[in-house]
């Protein structure tokens, strides 16, 4: 493999960050496998009218410390704590079934640093599961935020997301979809908030990031008014 291409792949793997897409995979947590329903559009009307007293919700993250720009994945777990069988939407950020709020620790106290928002516009099959009393299911989703009016997009776009600091993550599971009445009121808050820290890049990591950004610019120079700037490398069209 071309050494330059290999370097690009390694750098890209190291510094991919949060986009607006989520990765959500249902994972039953009990011995009895909850029946996963199909044909989402046809089954929307079969979702039971659930109350906040019938569902418990918790979140977890695998790490406590993330490097600057590193993607963050949160696992959401919902459990049927009621006495009847229910049908629920998977606890994923897709379609805003789950929303996140991140707070930054400041000398004056806590200050909201951002909130999820990109997935509210994502329409599609977020999945439905049927849970008997005591059964649980989970999804693992990349956490994205709107920060100061701008989406976290790409390291090359000049956005690395949360600055190095200590943060707290809160989440809500919504019983109805974002376009339905009561979306902001019919929620189950996560039982506990999570704390995590974003650290500075090491000199080695910063050097790799700079090399990746420069290589990407050489291959795909930015257009200004439809004209590409001079480059030593011919862009791939």
Q: pLDDT, tens digit, for every residue of 182-195?
A: 999 999 999 999 99
Residue 86's pLDDT is 93
Report the chain's C-alpha Rg in angstroms. Answer: 21
CATH class assigned to 17-201: mainly beta
Q: How far apart are CA 213 and CA 145, in angstroms?
A: 23
The answer to whether residue 21 scores a pLDDT higher than 90 is no
Closest CA to 171 of 99, 66, 75, 67: 99
In the block, tokens 């599971």 appear at: 173
The answer to whether residue 226 scores a pLDDT higher than 60 is no
In the block, tokens 């640093």 appear at: 113
Highest mean pLDDT among 31-45, 78-92, 117-131: 78-92
What percentage of the chain reaches a pLDDT higher than 70?
Answer: 63
Q: How confident is the model at residue 26 (pLDDT cuts 50, 70, 90)?
A: very low
Domain boundaries, the chain: 17-201
Instruction: Report the pLDDT averaged over residues 14-22.
Output: 34
Residue 54's pLDDT is 96
Q: Among positive and negative, which fits the CA dihedral 199, 159, 105, 76? A: negative
Mean pLDDT, rounded, of the chain: 74
DSSP-derived secondary structure letter, 121: G
197 C-beta neighbours (distance < 10 Å), count: 14
In SS3 terms, 135-188 reads as: CEEEEEEECCCEECCEECCCHHHCCCCCCCEEEEEEEEEECCCCCCCCCCCCEE
Instruction: Write down how long the chain is.
Output: 237
In the block, tokens 């200050």 appear at: 111
Instruction: Report the pLDDT averaged over residues 200-223.
Output: 85
pLDDT greater at residue 10 or residue 228? 228
Q: How far apart are CA 63 and CA 225, in angstroms?
A: 43
């Amino acid at each position: 493999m071309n050494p330059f291409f290999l370097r690009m792949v390694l750098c890209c793997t190291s510094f991919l960050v949060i986009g607006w897409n989520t990765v959500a995979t249902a994972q039953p947590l009990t011995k009895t496998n909850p029946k996963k329903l199909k044909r989402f559009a046809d089954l929307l009307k079969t979702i039971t009218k659930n109350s906040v007293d019938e569902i418990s919700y918790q979140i977890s993250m695998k790490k406590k410390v993330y490097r600057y720009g590193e993607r963050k994945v949160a696992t959401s777990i919902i459990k049927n704590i009621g006495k009847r069988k229910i049908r629920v939407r998977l606890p994923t950020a897709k379609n805003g079934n789950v929303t996140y709020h991140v707070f930054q620790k400041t000398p004056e106290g806590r200050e909201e640093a951002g909130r999820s928002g990109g997935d509210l516009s994502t329409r599609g099959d977020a999945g439905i599961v049927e849970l008997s009393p005591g059964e649980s299911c989970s999804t693992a989703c990349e956490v994205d935020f709107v920060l100061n009016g701008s989406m976290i997009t790409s390291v090359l776009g000049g956005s690395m997301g949360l600055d190095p600091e200590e943060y707290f993550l809160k989440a809500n599971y919504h019983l109805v979809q974002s376009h339905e009445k009561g979306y902001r009121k019919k929620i189950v808050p996560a039982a506990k908030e999570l704390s995590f820290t974003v650290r500075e890049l090491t000199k080695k990591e910063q050097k790799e990031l700079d090399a990746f950004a420069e290589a990407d610019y050489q291959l795909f120079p930015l257009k200004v008014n439809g004209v590409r700037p001079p480059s030593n490398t011919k862009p791939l069209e």
